[in-house]
Amino acid sequence: MRAMLALGSIAHESVLRAHGLKPTFSKFGHAVETQLPDGRMLVSSYHCSRYNTQTRRLTTEMFETVMARAKDLAFA
C-alpha cells in the first residue's frame, strides 16, 4: 500500500498519531496530501456524512476526484 485515504479530520489525525506524528504535522483539509515518514502518502477528504453532502461541503465530484487521486497514488 502506497497511499491511504482518511475520511474526516479524526481519521486524518489518527493516521498521523499512528505514525508518531503530532496532529500539527499536517493540517486537515479536503484533498490535502501528506508524505508520511514511511514513504506512503496520506490523502485526506471531508467525511461523506449526510451533513457534509447535504450542505454541499462535499460534492459527488469532489469525492470522486479525491478517490481517484488516492487510487493513482496507491498504484503508482
For residue 76, the model assigns a pLDDT of: 85
DSSP-assigned beta bridge partners for residue 35: 41
Mean pLDDT across the stretch 3-23?
97
**pLDDT tens sequence across 47-62:** 999 999 999 999 999 9
For residue 1, the model assigns a pLDDT of: 73
Mean pLDDT across the stretch 11-15?
98
The four Cα atoms 53, 54, 56, 61 give a dihedral, to 10 degrees, of 40
Set of cell numbers at residue 55: 450542505
Set of cell numbers at residue 18: 499512528
